[in-house]
Amino acid sequence: MDILIDSLLAILTIYLAFRCMLAPKLSKAVFVFFAFGLMLALAWIRLGAVDVAIAEAAIASGFMGVLMLDSLRDFSLIFSKNQERLEETASKIPIKKDSYHWTTALALGLGLILFLLISIQAIWEVPQGGGLTAIAEANLPMSGVEHPVTAVLLNYRAYDTWLEIGVILMGLLAIFAAGGLKQYRKPGLAPAQDPLLRKTILIFTPVLFLFGAFLLYFGKMGPGGAFQAAVLWGAIGILLHLGGWTVFTVIPRRMRQILVTIGLGFFMILGFTQMATGGAFFEYPPAYAGFLILVVETLAAISIAAALTAIFAFLTK
């Protein structure tokens, strides 16, 4: 039964991926992307990676989906004004048969075959003893946490988490660098006058904050951690922005810079401090590993939440 469920989930995920890429309309592609993100979250749950599933559903499907819907609305408004002119111009252009469809299909087919071959080889070469699972679990007492996923992400392979935070920061900088397209920006929002919306924001803001703090602390013992908490804290900023309270834009510029860089910066300071004291980069002293990981996760969550809020505020203003 498990094989049947996993097979159907894999087939449906691949099908939705192709439907998203080949959708004839942007609106259809966006909604298929929502479903694709949820299928990926279910796949991670089936693999036992609840941590990744939470981040996948919240960031890839939720956050990115909202940005895509907002972009779709902007482009719809822009193109609707020039629709008649575009249709008139298009009617005068002779239609030519596209001779490149077969090359695209061939490239996709070869890529899929190559991916399947690599996947089969990776599965075939999986060690019989479970790989590094036993070693990771044996060193949990020295890692400072009780959850193996947290130990891998913030102790054994802290480089990965450090680079992931850097990627988010680079994405934010890229968005700022592309800020010259002022015609796509919307005027500033006024605070929501709808009493129902205001009440909803007031109710959900503390709930999201407390649940994010719980996931942050619980990450050392079970599924959760910095990214999961950051998604919920970032949702607070996005929710306030949708309600008209552009909190991120009223924060002083220097404070905004500190918020989005403090996670990556503390990571680097901690790593170089360990090297200066004779240790390895990101090698925590066993006696202080738990405390340092909690501080790193807290600051990383703050930076990621601030970056997500800044991205949303910048792209939707």
* pLDDT tens-digit series, residues 281-290: 878 888 888 8
pLDDT band with cut points at 50, 70 and 90 for residue 252 = confident
Q: What is the pLDDT of residue 76?
A: 64
Angle at 66 between CA 60 and CA 72, to 5 degrees: 115
Last residue of one domain, picked from the residues 90, 107, 136: 90
Co-location of 55 and 160 in the same domain: no
Co-location of 159 and 83 in the same domain: no
pLDDT tens digits along 192-236: 566 777 788 888 888 889 988 988 888 777 767 888 888 888 888
285: left (phi over 0), alpha (psi -120 to 50) or beta: beta
Co-location of 155 and 70 in the same domain: no
Examine residue 106 and state whether it is found in any structural domain, yes or no.
Answer: no
Examine residue 19 and state whether it is found in any structural domain, yes or no.
Answer: yes
Last residue of one domain, picked from the residues 47, 74, 90: 90
pLDDT tens digits along 3-34: 778 888 888 888 888 888 888 787 788 888 88
Q: What is the mean pLDDT of the chain?
A: 76
Nearest to 27 by CA among 91, 90, 74: 74
Average pLDDT over residues 235-263: 80
Residues 6+ apart with CB under 8 A from 149: 49, 51, 223, 225
Examine residue 268 and state whether it is found in any structural domain, yes or no.
Answer: yes
Co-location of 55 and 193 in the same domain: no
Residues 6+ apart with CB under 8 A from 179: 314
Co-location of 202 and 288 in the same domain: yes
Q: What is the DSSP string of 190-257?
A: PPP--HHHHHHHHHHHHHHHHHHHHHHHHTTTSS--HHHHHHHHHHHHHHHHHTT--HHHHS-HHHHH
Co-location of 72 and 155 in the same domain: no
Highest mean pLDDT among 154-163, 170-179, 270-279: 270-279
Average pLDDT over residues 105-127: 73
Examine residue 71 and state whether it is found in any structural domain, yes or no.
Answer: yes
Greater model confidence, 168 or 179: 168
Examine residue 98 and state whether it is found in any structural domain, yes or no.
Answer: no
Examine residue 271 and state whether it is found in any structural domain, yes or no.
Answer: yes
Split into its structural domains, the chain has a count of: 2
pLDDT band with cut points at 50, 70 and 90 for residue 125 = low
Q: What is the pLDDT of residue 187?
A: 43
Co-location of 156 and 268 in the same domain: yes
Last residue of one domain, picked from the residues 90, 106, 122: 90
Examine residue 102 and state whether it is found in any structural domain, yes or no.
Answer: no
User: In the Cβ-directed half-sphere of 225, how many Cα atoms lie within 13 Å?
Assistant: 25
Co-location of 60 and 166 in the same domain: no
Average pLDDT over residues 95-124: 68
Examine residue 109 and state whether it is found in any structural domain, yes or no.
Answer: no
Q: What is the pLDDT of residue 181?
A: 41
The fraction of the chain above a pLDDT of 90, given in percent, is 2
pLDDT band with cut points at 50, 70 and 90 for residue 185 = very low
Co-location of 164 and 300 in the same domain: yes
Co-location of 172 and 311 in the same domain: yes
pLDDT band with cut points at 50, 70 and 90 for residue 183 = very low
Range of the domain at 255: 144-317
pLDDT tens digits along 46-86: 877 777 787 777 777 777 777 777 777 766 655 555 555 55
Q: What is the pLDDT of residue 111?
A: 74
Q: What is the pLDDT of residue 114?
A: 80
Co-location of 86 and 205 in the same domain: no
Co-location of 82 and 149 in the same domain: no
